[in-house]
Amino acid sequence: MLPPLPLLPLRNRRLPRVSGRLWIVFAVLALSHLVLPGPVHAADHPVPESPLWLTYPGGPGPGQGKHIILIAADQEYRSEYSMPMLARLLSRHHGFHCTVLFSLNRENNVDPTQKIRWEDKTVTHNIPGLEHLKSCDLLILFSRLLSLPPEQLQHFYDYLDSGKPLIGIRTANHGFIEFEYKQNGQKIDFGEAVLGGSFRNHHGRWQQDSTRGLIVQRNRQHPILTGVTDIWGTSDVYRTYKEGGSLPDDCVPLVDGQPLVGRKPDDAPNPELIALPVAWTKTWTGNTGRTARVFHVTMGSAQDFQSAGLRRLTVNACYWCLGLEAAIDAQSCMDLVGDYHPPDSGFAYDKLGIQPRKPSFYK
């Protein structure tokens, strides 16, 4: 530590003899107090920290300054594990600010074991922090059969009218019960109207088949498919339209899902089941006339996201949704940040070790 300089009377203009090197040190310290009046946080997160949700400040990267909200609110596919994983990846490797919101029980625990209203008519779910949808740039939704109070649903309705983009993952296409958003006086089906298809059935054997992702070659040059070479996951294929039908005309299919006859990546294709679309883009226009980019993927269990190909597909979709497709890099980092060993999907909560936990558990 440098010794303090003696204080001199103001009338005495002579300064103590100090080496040139020390004067440089003093000058830098003085300027630092002038220029930096307090701590500087270059990556301040737009949402305050809270025990009710998780925040991940973005660093350097193409997504710097953009804010993504991810909602983990399903009971089957372990979104409480996958959404924090994606948030860590997006913030650390790509620069996005990320916030993860959860469906919480009365004790403010993340609780995938909560019933749905079809099982218990008294159930109302709760997602604290939805007011931040107003200021975010992109929503990634992974919900399943939620019954939310009107004031929380209104945040979703406002988002649908904002013209801001949306990514729906797996059960998001049947993400709500009693969804009251209307166009031209008629209630819409969120999955059909917004995402391009609702869950109709499992195309194959639930929790027995897995899915091999097949790139739709006619759309191979779409920016979202940049660098995507291999997709496989343990979840089965969803059917989102009637047999003999197809995706709506405004959808651009990117990946088809071929059911396999087992839950290993080298299992054979099921010869009795054709491949069906599992990832596509579309647009959505709300009541204000503002049009938003939409991406929907019907794969996406927490174990599916152990596939680097599915992670790249989803991260690329974030760039595309935000109009940043020029920044998509086939070699960009998709490595997991921290440990990621999610439990299997399903409703055998005791067997799988699924229990209510604080949001901080998933950080």
**What is the token pair recorded at 141?**
């939704």
Question: In whole angstroms, what separates CA 148 from the centre of its chain?
Answer: 20
Fold of 53-362: Rossmann fold (3.40.50)
pLDDT of residue 43: 52
pLDDT digits (tens, 9 = 90+) for 200-224: 999 988 888 999 999 999 999 999 9
Q: State the pLDDT confidence band at 277, using cuts at 50, 70 and 90.
A: very high
User: What is the sign, positive or negative, of the torsion defined by CA atoms of 157, 81, 173, 253?
Assistant: positive
User: Residue 11, class by beta-carbon neighbours within 10 Å (0-12 exposed, 13-18 middle, 19+ buried)?
Assistant: exposed
**Cβ(66)–Cβ(137) below 8 Å:** yes
Query: Which tokens is 343 given?
Result: 């439990």
Residues 363 and 114 sit within 8 Å (Cβ to Cβ): no
DSSP character at residue 192 = I
Asked whether the predicted pLDDT for residue 29 surpasses 80, the reply is no
Spatial contact of 181 and 286, defined as CB atoms under 8 Å apart: no
Give the predicted TM-score (pTM) of the model: 0.88
What would the pLDDT profile of 104-125 be if each residue is shown by its tens digit?
999 999 999 999 999 999 999 9
User: Would you give the distance in Å from CA 342 to the centre of its chain?
Assistant: 16
